[in-house]
Amino acid sequence: MTSTSARQSCVVGTGHAHGKATLVGEHTAVYGLPAIAIPLPGLTVDAVARFAAESPPPGRNTMRHILDREYLTCRFTCDPDDSTTGVQFGPAIAVRAALRRWMIDHDSVEVSVGSSIPPARGLGSSAALAAAAVRAVANLLGESLEDRVLFELVQCGKQVAHGRASGVDAATVIAPEPVWFEADIAHPIVSGLDAALVLADSGVGGNTRQAVEVARNVLGSRRADARGLLAKAAAITECAVTALEAGQAAALGCQMTEFHAFLHKLGVSTARLDRLVSAALRAGAHGAKLTGAGLGGCMLALTEPDNAAAVSAALADAGAQRTWTLPLGGWLR
């Protein structure tokens, strides 16, 4: 057992992570098939960790959070000894796993997190909160933290909070570039795509656990063609990465729209999301689809940069609660 006093520790530790958007491959990733996801560096999480003045009582790991439209702040205290399931909050579970890994056996830590990622919108909020929190605790303790270890710790929290998590969120919220995620491994994608992505919030929160269940039931009820459906979805993802690497926005957009049709068949789209997708396409987007688990949350549209304002306006007219425009050429390597 290691005592924190023997370590090179700081008074406070800090950590950072960002949001993510899945371009194609949500749901199929749960079955080990590939997905393409991009970091959203404009949506960020910053965490600060410090040793807690006192441990919470057993089973009472504390968590407070304040949520408003713009910002989520939360503060939680983790006791590594607490084996009860008091708080099923992914970031707290990830931090507890980190403390155990580093054999911090008697110090509780308090983590404060501020996030500009809207929660329950398929933009990686819970994975990014966990990643920033674990990074802050590593920094507090003077522990070096490899990306692979961070990925596994974030996954601990995701698995408990969301059930079956593929790992695409955990990998992308710590990645500096777009990733091809397959069978637990994230590979960087190199692309010079010159396009814009318009993200729109449908205004309704999604529920990943429920959406994964819905998709599984639909696939289960279509046993005869489930394998074919998944194979077709994987082929769309393959075509999408070829288009992304070649910088072909129109071809990538087509694959995104096709993937939306697949997600619709899986039962995870909603009338609101379908309406937003249609509005973006009518406004001249190359392609559009829901992003993340669905049953609410966000959609995204790929468009020429000089058409982004028109797409964004069309989405607002079609009921989007909020839109964000990302110039892709700015950060793709």
- Assess 74 for contact with ligand MEV (CB under 6 A): no
**Adjacent-strand bridge partners of 298:** 201, 291
- Of the candidates 4, 17, 19, 22, which one interacts with ligand MEV according to CB under 6 A? 22
- Assess 276 for contact with ligand MEV (CB under 6 A): no
Nearest distance from C-beta of residue 82 to ligand MEV, angstroms: 26
- Assess 165 for contact with ligand MEV (CB under 6 A): yes
Nearest distance from C-beta of residue 75 to ligand MEV, angstroms: 26
- Assess 30 for contact with ligand MEV (CB under 6 A): yes
- Assess 175 for contact with ligand MEV (CB under 6 A): no
- Assess 155 for contact with ligand MEV (CB under 6 A): no
- Assess 186 for contact with ligand MEV (CB under 6 A): no
Distance CA 134, CA 97 (A): 9
Residues 6+ apart with CB under 8 A from 128: 17, 18, 19, 20, 43, 44, 45, 115, 117, 173
- With CB atoms as reference, the residue minimizing the distance to ligand MEV is 166
Distance CA 84, CA 313 (A): 49
Distance CA 87, CA 97 (A): 13
- Map the footprint of ligand MEV across residues 80-139, applying CB under 6 A: 122
- Of the candidates 15, 19, 287, 292, which one interacts with ligand MEV according to CB under 6 A? 292
Q: Are 144 and 7 in contact (CB under 8 A)?
A: no
User: Whose CA is closest to 153, among 201, 108, 90?
Assistant: 90
Amino acid letter for position 90: G
Return residues touching ligand MEV (CB under 6 A).
22, 26-27, 29-30, 122, 165-166, 168-169, 208, 211-212, 292-293
